Amino acid sequence: MLEPPHDLLEKARQTLKHAYVPYSHFPVGAALKSSSGTIYTGVNIENISFGLTNCAERTAIFTAIASGEREFDALVIIGETNEPIAPCGACRQVMVEFFKPDMPIWLTNTAGKTVQTDISQLMPGAFDSLT
């Protein structure tokens, strides 16, 4: 697939306006499709105690999990970056928990650049076992 799924990209783009970003002024949106076909959106939600900020992709994942979802098919992330946005390390670790290694993850920007990747590429050698 060369382009992200249109419905997911549109949802991610539309949700950007809901980002709560009084400190960075850097909105990020995410749209996550569950295997049941529901799309969950997320935005970054900042806090005056900066470390408490929740990224857009973690918001989408946690919302889906809290709704009872456990299986996912695709994720789109969008930001106002020059290059397709790169998820932070905390979000990559959360993705390891819930995504199959080859589930498509689309990194995009508001200028229309897109890259398809997956969590095995974004987080090689991840901590994923207690044994």
Query: Segment near Zn ion (CB under 5 A), from 28-36, 51-59, 105-113, 123-131?
Result: 51-59
Binding of residue 46 to ligand DUR (CB under 6 A): yes
Residue 24 binds ligand DUR (CB under 6 A) = yes
Q: Which of 8, 39, 56, 103 touches ligand DUR (CB under 6 A)? A: 56
Measured distance CA(16)–CA(24) in Å, rounded: 14
Q: Is 78 in the site for ligand DUR (CB under 6 A)?
A: no
Task: Please list, in sequence order, all residues whose beta carbon lies within 8 angstroms of the beta carbon of residue 14, skipping any fewer than 6 positions away.
Answer: 29, 41
Classified as helix, coil or strand, 83 is coil
Residue 40: which H helix or E strand, with range? strand 39-43
Site for Zn ion (CB under 5 A): which residue of 91, 94, 105, 123?
91
For 13, the token pair is 């783009």
Nearer to Zn ion, 12 or 55 (CB): 55
The owner of tokens 């695709």 is: 74
H helix and E strand count, the chain: 4, 5
Specify whether 71 is catalytic. Answer: no
Contact residues toward ligand DUR (CB under 6 A) are 21, 24, 26, 28, 44, 46, 53, 55-57, 77, 85, 87-88
Residues of each annotated binding site: 55, 88, 91
